[in-house]
Amino acid sequence: MGNMNMDHSSHDMGNMNMDHGGHDMGSMDMSGGGMMMMHGGHMMNMGNLKHKFWGSFALMIPILIMSPMMGMRLPFQFFFKGSDWVVAILGTILFFYGGKPFFSGAKGEIEAKKPAMMSLISMGITVAYVYSIYSVINNNLTHSGMMVSNFFWELSTLIVIMLLGHWIEMNTIMNAGSAVDKLSNLLPNTASVKQADGQFKAVSLDQLQTGAIVLVKAGEKIPADGVITAGNGKVNESLVTGESRSIQKTVNDKVIGGSTNDDGSLQFKVTGTGDSGYLSKVKNLVSSAQNSKSKNQNLADRVSGYLFYASLSIAVVAWIIWSLINGVSYATTTAVTVLIIACPHALGLAIPLVVSRTTSLAATNGLLIRNRDALEGTKKLKFALMDKTGTLTQGQFKVNLVKSLTDAISDDDALKLIASVEQTSSHPLASGILSAARAKGLKLANADNVKQITGAGMEATIDGKPYQVVSGKYLTEHQIQFDQQQFDTVASQGNTVSYLVQGNQALAIVAEGDQIKPDSDKMVQYLNENGIQPVMLTGDNAQTAQKVAKTLGIAKVEANLKPEDKQKLVTKYQQSGAVMFIGDGVNDAPSLAKANLGVAIGSGTDVAIDSADVVLVNSDPKDVIALLKLARASESKMVENLWWGAGYNIVALPLAAGILAFIGITLSPMAGAVLMSLSTVIVAINAMTLHVEK
């Protein structure tokens, strides 16, 4: 649904392109307070459209008073002999003035070889106008002997109703995107930056650079992404991530630009500004999601195309048949009614409005959708494969045991060596080890030739000697002796077990414990209740994995895995049904990309994960529930809107063509216009009722 380019400083919402009923609905430019929308290559301005509506409405009033209503003249019209000519003049002005947006749109559609809504509207009002002019000339000049009814009453009301429909449509689309637009207004205009002399000076946001130290006092908005260097306070990120409560922040914690410092005073080092900031990434992800056409939207395009040709064919056939049965006047009325009712206006809105509403709601609730096509298959999901560490558990490890396995080193020496090997790693296990070393005041040694052992651990050279910190599985695979009974005992207590190895000897064992996230059990319960089997995947040992799985109610566990093993398991499970994969978006990238629906657990400035279809900003398992509920509700709204936008034509088109005229049931062009516009309003309202269920 197009590009939304929103500059932080200018708050310009930029351009939003929407495909409308099979043709390019074009750009919507809301900069400068105005709003522009393309229809079939014609730019429609929100202000101009408003003026056209009121101008056309003013012209419509005298036309309604002086022209026959659905073929019937009011009593006073018989005494006002010049009324037909006045109506013809006013009708001509209205036809060209009010009809201009539709003619321009139709021209763009025909040039693109995609005739659709604007072409149908133009055809309908042109037929009505030409026949009405013929009627006036016949009745007042040629006097052929047969009075011919004109359709200026229907023509004027149709144009005004269609202009009103477009006005409502543009307002609705603008409102649907307003939640994302609000993100542009979250950043303050200035930032208080530390100068060389230690003083803080206010600078404009476009001058803020990465690495600058910024002061934020209580009640002020945080101007950029960063890491706290001094102070602490409670930060409210609700407008950015959807997290409802304020979060206590202290030194080394991340802050997000756009959030508010509720209390206390803090200083932070800027890590992201402008295009590299969190808000910019949010808007880029939303733009990417809205720009991609989904299966449902492609379906709407095809239905719109079919409807154009079907309605045109029915109109032609109806005109020929009724011309033979009841004359040209009646046949023209019937054909015009068919063309009006078939206008795919509502159909063109059916999917884009729901998409706009879905992505906007998701973005402001910490659910960033990158690929909506993947989201539309949630009802077919059979398996939910999920990583353990960081997804189901906190990923904040605490060292519960460090024990030397040789007399050559002490327990503290073992911890020092292990921490020295791990000091450059960002893995949660490494963080736990480094915290334990700091707590004991251990001074780490310099490590050279540091390398990662994929799926197993780390290796480095310290004082000229090679060391490795690896898993128990690595020891087994490389036939390094260790106490299996000791391993089983420690692991069964819920610990992740690693070993310090030199050569072919295990020098020490280290065990770390992790805490299960508070809402992981609710997510697992929801998956089970909705026919999606949860499967836990982990590189951890089987004993620890089974303990976590048993606590959460997960029956299927795959342990001791490498990243490539997870991707193979995704492929394996896909042979039995659609797979959702939930992971941290880094080591799990191949699996996220391979799954039918890849959900990345990420937060802060790490949110832009290219391999995932959806990113959960708050790293909260319960957001998976909100995501699935929103996705399913969104798809239901799309189906409902498709029926409202096109399904009613199954009954309306034959009825408009006069299939029940023999029992006195017919539709006038005015009734057709009302039905079409009513379906548009219903589609818009239905889309806006979509909400995120917490």
> Where in the sequence numbering do the catalytic residues fall?
387
* Residue type, position 328, single letter: V
In the three-class reduction of DSSP (H, G, I as helix; E, B as strand; rest coil), residue 202 is classed as strand
CA dist., res. 194 & res. 215, Å (int) = 7
| CA 257 and chain centroid, separation | 21
Q: Which residue, among 491, 454, 471, has the nearest Cα to 567 in the 3D structure?
A: 454
The first and second tokens of residue 110, run together, are 């025909």
d(CA 632, CA 580): 14
Q: Which two tokens stand for residue 118?
A: 């604007």
Q: Return d(Cα 245, Cα 616) in angstroms, integer.
A: 17
- Full 3-state SS string of 300-344: HHHHHHHHHHHHHHHHHHHHHHHHHHHCHHHHHHHHHHHHHHCCC
Q: Which helix (H) or strand (E) holds 649?
A: helix 649-656
3-state secondary structure of 271: strand
Whether 239 and 364 have beta carbons less than 8 Å apart is answered as yes
DSSP states along 344-358: THHHHHHHHHHHHHH
Task: Name the β-bridge partners of 580.
Answer: 384, 597
Per DSSP, the three-state class of 655 is helix
Comparing CA positions, the residue from 476, 470, 438 lying closest to residue 452 is 470
DSSP string, 422-460: HTT--SHHHHHHHHHHHHTTPPPPP-EEEEEETTTEEEE
CA dihedral of 350, 297, 21, 39, whole degrees rounded to 10: 100
Residue in this structure with the two tokens 């699996």, named with its chain if needed: 591
**Long-range contact set of residues 104-109: C-beta below 8 Å, sequence gap at least 24:** 104/39, 104/40, 104/41, 104/42, 105/39, 105/40, 105/41, 105/42, 105/44, 106/40, 107/40, 107/41, 107/42, 108/23, 108/24, 108/38, 108/39, 108/40, 108/41, 108/42, 109/23, 109/40, 109/41
* Identity of the residue numbered 474: Y
Query: 3-class SS at 677?
Result: helix
Place of tokens 């429909």: 165
Q: At which residue do the structure tokens 């128990």 appear?
A: 472
Q: Helix (H, G, I), strand (E, B), or coil: what is residue 99? A: helix
Which two tokens mark 78? 């018989």
| Nearest C-alpha neighbor of 231 from the set 246, 214, 243 | 214
Based on its alpha-carbon atoms, the radius of gyration of the chain, rounded to whole angstroms, reads 33
Could you give the CA distance from residue 548 to residue 390 in angstroms, rounded to a whole number?
A: 13
CB atoms within 10 A of CB 185: 12
